Amino acid sequence: MRILLTGGLGFIGSAVIRRLISETEHEVLNLDKVTYAGTHTSVQSVSDSNRYHFSKVDIVDGPAVTDAFASFRPDAVMHLAAESHVDRSIDGPGEFVQSNIVGTYEMLQAARSYALEADIMDRFRFLHISTDEVFGALSPESPPFDESTPYDPRSPYSASKAASDHLVRAWHETFGLPTLITNCSNNYGPFQFPEKLIPLMILKSAAHQELPVYGKGDNIRDWLFVDDHAGALLRVLEEGKPGETYAIGGNSERTNLEVVQQLCDLVDTQLGDNGARQELISFVADRPGHDLRYAINASKIKDELGWEPSHSFAEGLAKTASWYLENEWWWRPLLTERYEGERLGVTT
Ligand code: NAD
Ligand code: DAU
């Protein structure tokens, strides 16, 4: 297949590209705006391949997106480009409305015109990568989210992703575009920008800095190793049914405090310095509108497409901690030039 992938310089998109180039015969065009979250170093292990192509495009720019379709002539789209950090959506929601809603609209319009003109509407695929945050917040007793859970987004980020999911579904129902949607839980692993909980805590704890846990640390997330998510996305693209939604999760619910404590112990062990890093944990002001719990029932993708995660949380977390401790070349420039680890997303 010729796959037009958006957001391939980010965390999950780069994992998908590394997998597409190293483990399949597919050809990829990566469209990315190169925001603060995107870096070419995340795909440098495969970027010499003649099956990898890059074009610097803001997906909000409709004519540029249309040109990319016309020149690359894809069989499929994997749409990951988005503003992705909840705390930044509190500080500046406008970018989220632009990239996540308007950008998805431009992608859908260009895909529809292209597939019609190329007369490939039946075999074309548009995979939209979304999040479990569109479903809102669970109480500790509620059953996990699944494909039938009503939408109830509560942050500017999740509202913008929910809006984009609705557009994708509308383009399927109204225009017959063969779309698929995935709603995945929290990812972690190598090459994640160090604003997110797990990389931030690894790097701060390694540097003996205070570890800011929001509220009481009792919020719960369902963690999935990023390479497992990449595998699920390829499975949905190749075998999923157009018009369907697939919920993807890691069967690994943990409180934030448990995650941070486990990371402290891993960093202590891996650096071998008896750092007593749990003592660095500090409870700070909560995130406004902080969703209490996310969890996914991933039985549909398991039963229908035969996918399930292959990493346990303990394995994935140990791999992730050692990757950050061994790959300063990747994260140091980001901390120096783009984000120094300061608190984001506090309203006054
Ligand atoms: P990320 O922030 O690491 O990367 C986003 C990428 O998109 C960056 O390379 C950025 O340059 C690019 N981008 C942003 N706006 C763009 C625009 N207007 N035009 C072109 N490129 C643009 O994000 P991520 O964590 O890799 O998430 C990727 C996708 O997966 C997002 O759609 C996100 O909502 C979804 N998702 C993320 C998670 C998670 O835990 N990280 C979980 C479920 C779903
Ligand atoms: O559920 C999927 C979503 O997971 C994705 O759609 C988002 O793109 C992704 O960013 C992630 O959202 P979260 O808000 O859950 O991730 P984050 O890493 O920002 O925070 C995880 C939890 O940790 C959350 O409850 C807030 C808390 N936290 C976060 C940071 C950065 C802290 O306690 N301290 C921190 O410094």
**Does residue 319 form part of some domain?**
no
**Does residue 107 form part of some domain?**
yes
Cα–Cα distance between 201 and 211 in angstroms, integer? 6
CB contact at 8 A, 245 and 298 = no
Per-residue pLDDT at 274 = 87
Residues of the chain falling short of pLDDT 70: none
Ligand 2 atom with minimal separation from the 221 CA: 15
Ligand 2 pocket member 107 (CB < 6 A): no
In total, how many domains does the chain have?
1
Burial readout 195-222 (b: 16 or more C-beta within 10 A, e: otherwise): bbbbbbbbbbbbeeeebbbbeebebbbb
**Does residue 320 form part of some domain?**
no
Q: How far is the CA of 134 from the centre of ligand 1 (A)?
A: 15
Per-residue pLDDT at 233 = 98
Rounded CA Rg of the chain: 20
**Does residue 6 form part of some domain?**
yes
Considering the candidates 83, 132, 195, 291, report the single residue annotated as catalytic.
132
Domain that holds residue 185: 2-189+224-253+294-311
Cα–Cα distance between 267 and 206 in angstroms, integer? 7
CATH label of the domain that carries residue 32: 3.40.50.720
**Does residue 108 form part of some domain?**
yes
pTM for this entry: 0.99
User: Could you confirm whether 303 is annotated as catalytic?
Assistant: no
CB atoms within 10 A of CB 165: 20
Residue carrying structure tokens 């004519």: 63
Per-residue pLDDT at 276 = 95
Per-residue pLDDT at 245 = 98
CB contact at 8 A, 132 and 185 = yes
- For residue 267, which phi and psi values (nearest 5 degrees)? -70, -40
Distances (CA, A) of 210 to 278, 284, 304: 10, 10, 45
**Does residue 58 form part of some domain?**
yes
Which DSSP state fits 132?
G
**Does residue 153 form part of some domain?**
yes
Considering the candidates 52, 105, 114, 157, report the single residue annotated as catalytic.
157
Q: How far is the CA of 306 from the centre of ligand 2 (A)?
A: 28
Residue 121 token pair:
């509407």
Closest to 251 measured CA to CA, from 130, 133, 138, 145? 145
Per-residue pLDDT at 347 = 80
Per-residue pLDDT at 192 = 98
**Does residue 12 form part of some domain?**
yes
